[in-house]
Amino acid sequence: MTETRENNPSNLTTDPYEAVLAEVSEMLEAARSEVARAVNTLMTATYWELGRRIVELEQHGAERAEYGKQIVERLAQDLSPKFGRGFKKSNLFQMRSFYLTYPDAAQSSSGETASIFQTLSGKFPLPWSHYVKLLPVKNSEARAFYEAQALRGGWSVRQLDRQVSTQFYERSLLSRNKAAMLEKATHPGAGEAISPEDELKDPFVLEFLSLKDEYSENDLEEALIQHIESFLLELGNDFAFLGRQKRLRIGDQWFRVDLLFFHRRLRCLVIVELKLGEFSYADAGQMHLYLNYAREHWMYADENPPVGLILCNRK
C-alpha cells in the first residue's frame, strides 16, 4: 500500500501533510529572510541614532575630542553590563563614525524615535557588518558604489571586504568593459553568497540580541521566534497563527509547542517545532506526543487531524 501511494503523483499532491509541508517550508524560508532583514535594519537604525546622540552630547563640551572620549568611555561602562559586549568602546566609536559618515540619513526630533527608525529602514538596506567595512572608505562616491554593488550582488561581508581591499571601485573606473566587470561581480564566489542563517549568526547580530557566542538552543530559538511571530502575524490566506510556546500537560509533565497554526483550507491544526541541530527519533516521538494531545484536546469535531512539522537547521 505504501508503494502504491509513493508511485502515484496525484496522491502526493493531494496528501494534506505534503501540502502543509510545502507551504510551511516556503513560508518559514521567507520568514527567515524577513527576520534577518528586520533584525539588521533595526540594529543599523539603532546604532545610527546612538551615534547621533553621542555626537550631539559631544557638542556641549568645551574641548570636544577629550569630552567625546569621556562620553564613550562612560557609555561603555554603563551599557556593557546591561546590554553586553556589543557596546564596548570600539563599537561605540564605530557608531559615532557611522553617524558622521551618514549625518543626513534622517531628520530627528525629540519623541520621534519610531518615525526615525522607519525612515532609516529605507536608507540602510545592508547588514550592519557591511557598513562597518564601509566606514574606512573616505571617498563618498566609492562608498556609495560599494554599497550599491553589495546590495545588487548580495555580497557577503567577506566579499565586500575583498572588493574594497582590492580597490574594485578604482579598477572599474579604469576598465574598458565596465559593464562586464560589474556583471561578474553580481555573482558571488563559491561559499560567499550570504544566507539568512549567515546573517543571523553574524557576531554583530548575536551581540545586538544579547546572545553570547556560545549561545544555547533556547536563547537563539527564543530570539528568532519573537521576530518570526511578528512576521507571521501579517500572513493572510490559509495560515492563521494561533500562538507560540503553547503549554500542554501530559500526566504530571508540562510541555510547550514552539509554534501553532490553523490551516483554513485543510481545516487542521499545524504544530511546528524548531530544532537547532540534527533530527533525532526523540524529536519525532515528542511530536507524536503533541499530535495525540492536540487530537484529543485541541481539535474540534468538524476539523481534520492535526499535522506536525519538525524544522531542523542541520541534516
pLDDT tens digits, 213-266: 545 556 655 665 665 555 555 555 677 888 888 888 888 888 889 889 898 888
- Is the Cβ–Cβ distance between 133 and 156 less than 8 Å? no
Let me know the angle formed at the C-alpha of 314 by 39 and 246, rounded to the nearest 5 degrees. 60
Please give the average per-residue pLDDT across 266-273, as a whole number: 90
Question: pTM (2 decimals)?
Answer: 0.56
User: Which residues fall within 8 angstroms of residue 11, CB to CB, at 6 or more apart?
Assistant: 4, 5
pLDDT at 288: 94
pLDDT digits (tens, 9 = 90+) for 129-174: 899 999 999 999 999 999 998 888 888 888 888 888 888 888 888 7
Span 236-314 CATH architecture: 3-Layer(aba) Sandwich (3.40)
| CB of 297 closer than 8 Å to CB of 267 | no
Ranges of each domain in the chain: 2-32, 236-314
Q: Are 172 and 181 in contact (CB under 8 A)?
A: yes
pLDDT > 90: what percent of the chain? 22
Range 31-40 average pLDDT: 77
Three cell numbers written together for 93: 566609536
Cβ–Cβ under 8 Å, residues 106 and 120:
yes
pLDDT in tens, 81-121: 888 878 889 999 999 999 999 998 776 544 456 666 667 77
Q: What is the grid cell recorded at 167?
A: 580597490
Q: Which residues lie closer than 8 Å to 247 by C-beta, 6 or more apart?
A: 254, 255, 256
